[in-house]
Chains A and B, each alone.
Chain A
Amino acid sequence: MNIFRLAGDMTHLMSVIVLLLKIHTIKSCAGISLKTQELYALVFATRYLDIFTDFISLYNTIMKLIFLASSFSIVWYMRQHKIVRRSYDKDQDTFRHLFLILPCLLLALFINEKFTFKEVMWTFSLFLEAVAILPQLVLLQRTRNIDNLTGQYVFLLGAYRALYILNWIYRYFTEPHYVHWITWISGLVQTLLYADFFYYYFNSWKNNVKLQLPA
């Protein structure tokens, strides 16, 4: 484990904590896309199929359990919690899951490192994670006014992606035979999706004004 990977995992973890804190303490999920959260729950469920079959490390297993539990509890909060669910912007969050899930599934069936159920599911989760943020970005674009916590949540997710790219570069140069085109390309696509958001985030931070996206 290198420093970029650890920092990437920690920012990823922080993004989830920020979101759970917002939902749990303010009892509001305003500005958060349920579609994106459901896609993330699906991403973790399909990626971590190996959780009970392949032991990598205690760290790995615990982090997987945290990501599974947190993503499903966020979905539960937004759908079931009697106060939180009232703040959900249902009419604005109209992105269709299937438009993202189907192409990712098809792509994973054709492009994968090994044609087995677990491997295809793993590849599917990589493709889906790359685009799962889209409903969230569309929602941000529509509501334009972003509260601090939502802004920090998306920022931390983007930071996590950027750090993972540094992790791959580091591993490529330090570990023999570490070549993973599928992971790299889908990871790069995912990070690029944040570029536009980052531009506005840094501008608002630099000018010390509230983050607001253009119409």
Chain B
Amino acid sequence: TGQPSAHDEL
């Protein structure tokens, strides 16, 4: 959901 984000990276 939402915009792609660098927050899903490690």
Interface residues of A (CB under 8 A from B): 5, 9, 12, 50, 54, 56-57, 60, 63-64, 67, 122, 164, 167-168, 171, 175-178, 180, 183
- What are 23 pairs between A and B in contact, CB < 8 Å? A5-B9, A9-B10, A12-B10, A50-B7, A56-B7, A57-B8, A60-B8, A60-B10, A63-B10, A64-B10, A67-B10, A122-B7, A167-B9, A168-B6, A171-B4, A175-B4, A176-B3, A176-B4, A177-B3, A178-B4, A178-B5, A180-B5, A180-B6
Chain A residue numbers with a CB within 8 Å of B4 are 171, 175-178
A183 touches B6 (CB 8 A): yes
Q: Which 5 A-B pairs have the closest CB atoms?
A: A175-B4, A183-B6, A180-B6, A178-B4, A177-B3
Question: 16 other contacts beyond A5-B9, A60-B8, with CB at 8 A cut-off?
Answer: A50-B7, A54-B7, A56-B7, A57-B8, A60-B10, A63-B10, A167-B9, A168-B6, A176-B3, A177-B4, A178-B3, A178-B4, A180-B5, A180-B6, A183-B6, A183-B9
Q: How far is the CB of B3 from chain A (nearest CB, A)?
A: 5
Chain A residue numbers with a CB within 8 Å of B7 are 50, 54, 56, 122
Number of B residues near A (Cβ < 8 Å) is 8
The listed residue with most A CB atoms (<10 A of its CB), out of B6, B8, B10, is B10
Closest to A56 in B: B8
Chain B residue numbers with a CB within 8 Å of A164 are 9
Chain B residue numbers with a CB within 8 Å of A9 are 10
Rounded to whole angstroms, the CA-CA distance of A102 and B7 in the bound complex is 23
Q: How far is the CB of B1 from chain A (nearest CB, A)?
A: 11
Closest to B8 in A: A56
Q: How far is the CB of A157 from chain B (nearest CB, A)?
A: 13
